[in-house]
Amino acid sequence: MNIAAPPPATDAGQPGPDAFAPAPFAHTPYDGSRKAFSVGLAPLDLAEWIEPDVKLAATLAERAALIREKRDVVVREEDGTRQAQREVLELVVAHVTTRFPEQYRLEGRRITVAATGQSFDLDDAGEAPLVIAGQLISDDLVLLRQGAGGYRLVAAVLCFPSAWSLAEKFGQSLDQLHEAVPGYESKLARVMNRIFDNLKVEQPVWRVNWSIYPDDELHHPESKERPRHWFEDPAHLAPEAFVRVERQTLRRLPESGDMLFTIRIHVDPFLAFRRHPEGGALAASLREQILGLDADQLAYKGLTDHRDAVAAALERIAAGA
């Protein structure tokens, strides 16, 4: 299921005040189509590589502020990665100017984003190319390079991590990055490393995951030492909880052979289930998924103490109560 609700209309048939609000539930990986904690990669049509964002101006403003004010939290690069970063920037520019020409204007080597009016010199030698690319789109950009211990995270613009710290994970291999993921070693490691070794330039892929969050903040750079502040009051959970979905794409760069991983965040409040024509069914399937998690998976998703309250909230929504 992949549902986009039509914009709400007023009684007069005119678009309502939030007619241009983003359609909720861009992706619904909890709808029974995928298993949590699985590889779940599907072929990606490169025409859909970067998804449009109706909140682009606000998202890009937040990204620019994070890069300006918390650069060491959201940006990392190893020496020797600038060439591959440039490759990423050129791919992003070619994609957005072709796919969203009304939003991006390229004049010579200067690109302007209509939503913000901001423009960037693509050849700016004083800035990391990945950082320029990361201010054009809503997706985070992560570069991985093959080394002795497998693929390693060698550069990133990561403004909107889902409860992990770039400073902690920078330089780590796939195995180290996923150390805390339940079942990684037994079920995912071998397959994932093989995919990274063998993925061809012309075989880009994508996957989606879901989590339950207590807020709709995009920037969640929690360290393992400082876990996220969780729900204050489970009794008030229904209006306050959010479902956070990450859409991830993976492609091999044609020139460097490095891997580019992109992450785009979608957050919807539980309340959106109530307004959506298929919200009851979606809430019911999310509840099923949560109840199907084992103890380690619940702990990883931060739901050990809140599983029952979250499930009860979703049950009420599914029942229309």
Interface with ligand HEM by CB under 6 A: which residues? 36-37, 39, 41, 142, 144, 153, 164, 169, 177-178, 180-181, 188, 192, 195, 207, 209, 250, 261
For ligand HEM, the closer CB: 10 or 38: 38
For ligand HEM, the closer CB: 100 or 230: 230
Other Cβ atoms less than 10 A from the Cβ of 88: the count is 26
* Paired residues of 43 in beta bridges: 205
For ligand HEM, the closer CB: 4 or 42: 42
Q: Tell me the closest approach of the beta carbon of residue 159 to ligand HEM, in angstroms.
A: 14
Q: Tell me the closest approach of the beta carbon of residue 171 to ligand HEM, in angstroms.
A: 11
For ligand HEM, the closer CB: 142 or 282: 142
Q: Tell me the closest approach of the beta carbon of residue 259 to ligand HEM, in angstroms.
A: 7
Q: Which two tokens stand for residue 210?
A: 């879901």
- φ, ψ of residue 115 to 5 degrees: the values are -60, -35
The residue of the chain with the least Cβ separation from ligand HEM equals: 209
For ligand HEM, the closer CB: 144 or 317: 144
Task: Please tell me the distance from the alpha carbon of residue 180 to that of residue 279, in angstroms, as a whole number.
Answer: 32
Q: Tell me the closest approach of the beta carbon of residue 249 to ligand HEM, in angstroms.
A: 10
Helix (H, G, I), strand (E, B) or coil at 249: strand
Helix (H, G, I), strand (E, B) or coil at 120: strand
Task: Please tell me the distance from the alpha carbon of residue 222 to that of residue 214, in angstroms, as a whole number.
Answer: 14
Phi-psi region of 257 (alpha: psi -120 to 50; beta: other; left: phi over 0): left
Task: Please tell me the distance from the alpha carbon of residue 292 to that of residue 283, in angstroms, as a whole number.
Answer: 14
For ligand HEM, the closer CB: 234 or 302: 302
Q: Tell me the closest approach of the beta carbon of residue 9 to ligand HEM, in angstroms.
A: 36
Q: Tell me the closest approach of the beta carbon of residue 294 to ligand HEM, in angstroms.
A: 14
Q: Tell me the closest approach of the beta carbon of residue 261 to ligand HEM, in angstroms.
A: 4
Residue at token pair 């859909």:
48
Task: Please tell me the distance from the alpha carbon of residue 28 to that of residue 321, in angstroms, as a whole number.
Answer: 22
Among 189, 130, 129, 176, residue whose Cα is nearest residue 157: 130
* Paired residues of 298 in beta bridges: none
- Cβ pair 137, 116 in contact under 8 A: no
For ligand HEM, the closer CB: 153 or 272: 153
For ligand HEM, the closer CB: 75 or 177: 177
Q: Where are the alpha helices (DSSP H) in 22-177?
A: 56-69, 71-74, 82-99, 129-133, 166-169, 174-177
Q: Tell me the closest approach of the beta carbon of residue 25 to ligand HEM, in angstroms.
A: 18
Environment class of residue 23 by beta-carbon count within 10 Å: exposed (0-12), middle (13-18) or buried (19+)?
middle
- Cβ pair 243, 286 in contact under 8 A: yes
